[in-house]
Structure 1
Amino acid sequence: MTQTQLRFGILGCANIVRKVSRSMLSSPNITISAIGSRSLEKAIAFASECQFPESTKLYGSYGAVLDDPDVDAVYIPLPSSLHLHWAVLAAQKKKHVLLDKPVALNVGELDVILAACEASGVQFMDATMWMHHPRTAHMKEVLSDEQRFGQLTMVHSVFTHMSDEYFLKNDVRVKPDLDALGALGDNGWYAIRAILWANDYELPNTVTAFRDPVYNDAGVLLKCGGSLNWYKNGKVATFYYSFLSNICMDIMVHGTKGNLRVHDFVIPFNEKVGSFYAVSDSKWTERSLGCDPEPSEVKVATDVPQEALMLREFGRLVAGVRSGEAKPETKWAVISRKTLLVIDAVMASINNGFVPVEVIY
């Protein structure tokens, strides 16, 4: 299958576009065909600042990007309250959809988006970049090795960062009319996805939010956490997310025979090397003065950043659909939906007094 040029349209000038567009510009099979903003002046200034090619069309609306016949796919990094409208419209216009997280405010909205993509035969993928780093596949190999890791028993995931006063007052992620899920939809999305990933996307039976979440004055979550339980095999998981703590991006996975830990799963500390630590068959040393063996560091190199690998995979899937050699890959839709189901359960637990909430697919 020959991969043809994928012509992207971008809806909006969010900060994350600076990161993603850098990889678009360096990818030989991708071109930025158009970008739209709420004003033409902003689109012009943003394209110039990010050094978009002169051929990029600049529009003063999102709809103009979707109407452009030279756009094959759209990247949508808009506030989550706008995802339902613009993702559905993009699908109806036969544009393949790369949608930033959280992909919707709830599963009901996401189901409408996915139905529109299916009806139009376009590819859907959420823009969770760490899923595409080669380290992620390597860690999964470790977790799948029953001889060394055994059976998974517990996962703990954390994603926090300390936000400054400007962020806490002005960022879209703390505005109830733009991103009503707040830190749960942003940092919590990653922490919950990590748990599902470690569990091969097996949904828990119940989700329970921790008590005493922190909100801003507008009622948007700034920090919280919760637990997940799988009754049939006794597995448990905990997660924590916050806009109010120092940067932490940990996944800790415990098995009957081994452990795995990664300290930077969301954004690798080093763009070209992703590390994690693993150990199996640990025992106390004499007089319990230490542990043997100690966890060993595994380094996984990559020539391109994880967002470029995400774009490469998205482009590969779109190329298959466009050539008629493949149908849209549904794996990413399923994973997105399961992530959002758990987020819905967290919100339901909070709203109902922190009781366990059953998760039903």
Structure 2
Amino acid sequence: MAAPPINIGIVGCADISRKISRAITLSPNSTICAVGSRSAEKAARFAADNGLPDSTKIHPSYDAVLDDPDVDAVYMPLPTGLHIKWAVAAARRKKHLLLEKPLGLNVREVDTILEACESNGVQIMDGTMWMHNPRTTKMKEFLSDPSEFGNLKSVHSCFTFAADEDYLKNNIRVKPDLDGLGALGDAGWYCIRSILWAVDFDLPKTVLALRGAVFNAAGVILSCSAALSWEDGKVATFHCSFLANLTMDMTVIGTKGTLHLHDFIIPFEEAKASFSASVEPEFNDLVTGWARGPRVVTVATELPQEALMVREFCRLVQRIKYEGGRPEKKWPSISRKTHLILDAVKASIESGYQTVHVAG
């Protein structure tokens, strides 16, 4: 018999909550139990605008959601600067936690959140949706095949979008007291995660921010780049920006093969996603074209990637609640490693673009 669905409370009505509330509804093992905001009116308006069930409880505060005995887990899309307060509060109330990225403003805050989750037996997962797309599994199969891909040599990742004037003035991601990591914490998070994913989460030895980072008047990063290096010779680069055309590229290069995709964070189509796999390509005899080029691999998905994320999160929570299991440590470990690189890039920028050694 299937375990009962997990009751999720939404803590905060940020714009991303619209997408995740739909994902919770689509996931077969979750249900929206409650919504809380800084006012009951705002929470009620969110529930009505997003067609939430009539049974959804409307709470006038974040605390009310965390104190609700019917809530098993919470989705928390609050500004990063508020995470340490409310994520720790959730963990102490034994609420499992699907927390938007980045988890904190630095790895010290992250460690405080993760310790609270571990000591209270709480599952935590960050909201990096593309990790749960079946295309990601298929890409990893290609990278893991020595006969096709060979040995990994380099990874290159880019996530940029051209924010409008209102965004650059008023969005929480450009406010130092709300999301002080700016483009590095928002867009750069995805780039760093893609690099770590490609190298099986083996931390680099060094990180070097590249010159040319752009800041707003408040000192928040709007654009930056970095290079990562490993002891075995692997290298990686990434660029993230709020100031350039929408681009979501990832390239992974091996001794035999190359993986390319142009929509690694949000697929061009919800129901399927593709990538290019090139294996020992060749030019034609006159070198006017390619005699053997890349193949395109397309992977269908039964649910949107955000719903698959919710489903996996709730599966882990079900295992804890109904089977006496322990929280899965993979997800907090991956989150922490991503934050270590975020911190290293930021430290390199602040030191005048000096090399930073990464300590796990």
Q: TM-score, normalised by structure 1?
A: 0.98
Structure 1 position 30, deviation (Å)? 1.3
CA contact (8 A) 1:3 1:316 kept: no
Q: Is the 8 A contact 2:155 2:252 kept in 1?
A: yes
Please list, as runs of the form range in 1=range in 2, the aligned pairs for 1:142-181 lying within 5 A after superposition: 142-181=142-181
Tell me if the contact between 2:26 and 2:303 (Cα under 8 Å) persists in the aligned partners: no
Matched, 1:107 2:138: no
What is the aligned partner in structure 1 of residue 252 from structure 2? 253
Cα deviation for residue 29 of structure 1 reads: 2.3
After superposition, give the CA deviation of every residue in 1:266-312 in whole Å (9 maximum; x if it has no partner).
00010001000001111222122122311111100012100000011
Structure 1 CA distance for aligned equivalents of residues 25 and 199 of structure 2 = 35
The answer on whether the counterparts of 1:259 and 1:280 sit within 8 Å (CA) in structure 2 is yes
Cα distance in 1, alignment partners of residues 266 and 27 from structure 2: 20
1:137-159 Cα distance to aligned partner (Å, 9 max, x none): 00000000001100000000001
CA distance in 1, matches of 2:238, 2:161: 14
Deviation at 1:102, TM superposition (A): 0.6
What is the identity, as a one-letter code, of the residue corresponding to 2:35?
I
Q: Is 1:270 the equivalent of 2:269?
A: yes
Query: In the alignment, does 2:305 pair up with 1:306?
Result: yes
Counterpart Cα distance in 1 of 2:291 and 2:227: 31
For 1:291 and 1:51, locate their aligned partners in 2 and report how far apart those are by CA, in whole Å.
52
Tell me the amino acid that sits aligned with residue 38 of structure 2: R
CA distance, structure 1, for counterparts of residue 27 and residue 357 of structure 2: 43
Q: Does the aligned pair in 2 maintain the 1:125–1:333 contact within 8 Å?
A: yes
In structure 2, distance between residues paired with 1:69 and 1:273: 38
Where does residue 52 of structure 1 map in the other structure?
Answer: 52
1:355, distance to aligned residue in structure 2 (A): 0.8
Letter in 2 for 1:310: M
Equivalent residue letter for 2:104: A
List, as ranges, runs of 4+ consecutive aligned residues in structure 1 with deviation greater than 6 Å: none
- Counterpart for residue 132 of structure 1: 132
Listed as ranges, the matches of 1:91-102 within 5 Å are 91-102=91-102
Residue 41 of structure 1: aligned partner: 41
Q: Cα RMSD (Å) of the superposition?
A: 0.9
For 1:286, what is the secondary structure of its paired residue? coil
CA distance in 2, matches of 1:24, 1:35: 12
The sequence identity of aligned pairs, in percent, is: 57
| Range moving further from structure 2, 287-296 or 276-285 | 287-296
Q: How big is the shift at 1:27?
A: 2.6
CA contact (8 A) 2:29 2:315 kept: no
Q: Which amino acid aligns with 1:72?
A: D
Q: Is the 8 A contact 2:250 2:264 kept in 1?
A: yes
What runs of 5+ residues in structure 1 fail to find an aligned partner?
none
d(CA) in 2 for partners of 1:339 and 1:356? 18
The alignment of Structure 1 onto Structure 2 pairs a total of residues equal to 360
> What are the ranges of 5 or more consecutive residues in structure 2 without an aligned counterpart?
none
Paired residue secondary structure (2:211): coil
Q: Specify the alignment match of 2:25 in structure 1.
A: 25
Deviation at 1:3, TM superposition (A): 2.5
Q: In the alignment, residue 29 of structure 2 is paired with which amino acid?
A: N
